[in-house]
Structures are given as structure tokens and as C-alpha cells.
Amino acid sequence: MRVVLLLALVAFVVIVLLPLLRRPLARGARRPVAVSDELVKDPVCQTYVVRSRAVRGRGADGAPYFCSEECASRYVS
Ligand SMILES: [Zn+2]
């Protein structure tokens, strides 16, 4: 009988308490603002664009960044 109670207690801890303990950790583990999400400036129209959505230039590191293909082609010419 004791074993059953012990198992019930363990099951209670696993089912009820562990998710409660994990929640703050999951919140802390939420990915920080990625480097690719920082704002970059379009040198043609001076607009700030999220880097992951920006059109990349032809530099070695993909810079400079542009808001659109139009600005990218305008920068080259
Ligand atoms: Zn632009």
C-alpha cells in the first residue's frame, strides 16, 4: 500500500509540479533577439530595415543592406 501511495506522489510531482517548474525556465530560454533581427540602415533611402528581411548588398559579409531590390540596384549604379 505504501508503494502505491509513493507512486501516486511521484506521479503527482511529475504531472503537476514539473510543468510549473519548467515554465519560468522556458520563458527564460525564449530566444533572445537574434543578431539577424537587428535594424540596419539602407544607405540609399536612409530607411532602417530588419536585417533578416533586408536585401543584401554585394559585400563579402552581405552588407550593405537595402529595403528593396530597387535600392540595391540604385546603390550599385
Ligand atoms: Zn531603400
- Ligand 1 centroid – CA 14 distance (Å): 53
- Ligand 1 centroid – CA 58 distance (Å): 15
pLDDT confidence of residue 20: 79
CB 66 within 8 A of CB 55: yes
CA separation (Å) from 63 to 2, 44, 49, 69?
A: 67, 13, 12, 14
In tens, the pLDDT along 10-66 reads 887 788 877 777 776 655 556 665 555 889 999 999 999 998 899 998 878 878 999
- What residue ranges do the domains of the chain occupy? 1-30, 35-76
Ligand 1 (ion): which residues have CB within 5 A?
42, 44-45, 47, 67, 71
- Ligand 1 centroid – CA 44 distance (Å): 5
